[in-house]
Amino acid sequence: MNNKKRNELLALPGRSRLNETLSCILHCGNFRHGVSRYCSTHLGRLLRYGGPTQQRVEKSTLAPEVAIMRKFLKHNDTHPSVIAAQDWLTKFVRQIAEIKGSPGQAQMRQLVYDGFTESAPVSKWIPNGQREMLATVLATFYYAIKRPAALPANEPLTYALFNHLIRLASPVKRGRLKYNANTGREEILYSYPQPGAAVRRLRGREIRTTLASFADKVFSALERQHQLEVERRQKLETDFKDGDLKHRKRYIPRPPDAPRKREPNAGTFQRGGRNKFPPGYVPKGKRG
């Protein structure tokens, strides 16, 4: 539903109030919100994450994929594709941050302010800002491939690419003065504005259409690397056959509780037993 049609419906007398008496189309037990077919909960998910039933993918959930991509980009930092992808993403963020009134300017400006458009360390845990942005975008692609039920590869993925990118920076903070009648002076009230659904969709599509082919190449390289690692482990775990062993006499230690064997042609003599010397043996000091 576009904004023009929505405004026309809102202008109808009682249209919103009549719609709010109906239940949500997903049969969750709640009433609809405004002129929408969904309740307030599912409508909020639709506007933030791209689907009425789409859940938020936390940063902790995406952390294993980010670590894989960060390691891959660090080992291939001189590859032309990696350099081109980092340059495009950095230029993309800087252009939006510089153009006044562009969709998503506040969030992109915060990324520039926090140092994510530079190759220098951002914090103790982020040694390279540009690499961290690209690793986050690739990790979102990789998570959608590994877990399509948690993040479908349609509108939710488009929204998630932009959402995870702007979550790297600190939240946008705005303040305004408001008079407090109790204290008799003005106070600063802070708010944290969030980008709308149109901004998330627009910027997410730009990132997706540009970096999708690069992400496929990265995943193919990771798959080949995984296959080589599996083959290496299989070779290390291969058993030795009888033909591969050299048959030679080896010293095998005797168990401590095993009975001692009698030496051949020794009579009653047993080395280490009670009879210290064999029968008929005369020590050197007693020989006449």
Residue 72 CA neighbour count, 13 Å, CB half: 25
Domain ranges of the chain: 8-54, 56-234
pTM of the model: 0.73
Q: Is the CB of residue 131 less than 8 Å from the CB of residue 78? A: no
Write the Ramachandran bin of 267: left for phi over 0, alpha for psi from -120 to 50, otherwise beta. left
> Dihedrals φ, ψ of 185, to 5°?
-145, 170
Structure-token match 């058993």, residue found: 239
Amino acid at the residue 243: G
Q: What is the pLDDT of residues 180-218, one digit of tens each?
A: 888 888 887 777 778 889 999 999 999 999 999 999 999
Please give the helix or strand (H or E) that residue 185 lies within, else none: strand 185-191
Tell me 25's DSSP state: T
- Report pLDDT for 269: 47
Instruction: For the chain, 288 residues long, give each residue's pLDDT as a single digit of tens.
Output: 566 665 665 555 567 777 888 888 888 888 888 888 899 999 999 999 999 999 999 989 999 999 999 999 999 999 999 999 999 999 999 999 998 888 888 889 999 999 999 988 888 888 899 999 999 999 999 999 999 999 998 899 999 999 999 999 888 777 777 878 888 888 877 777 788 899 999 999 999 999 999 999 999 999 999 999 999 988 888 776 666 555 555 556 677 777 766 555 544 544 555 556 666 676 666 665
Q: What is the pLDDT of residues 49-94, one digit of tens each?
A: 999 999 999 989 999 999 999 999 999 999 999 999 999 999 999 9
Cα angle value 58/61/62 (rounded, 5°): 90
- Report pLDDT for 251: 59
Structure-token match 């309740």, residue found: 39
- Report pLDDT for 13: 57
Contacts of 113 (CB under 8 A, 6+ apart): 169
197 burial class (0-12, 13-18, 19+ CB within 10 angstroms)? middle
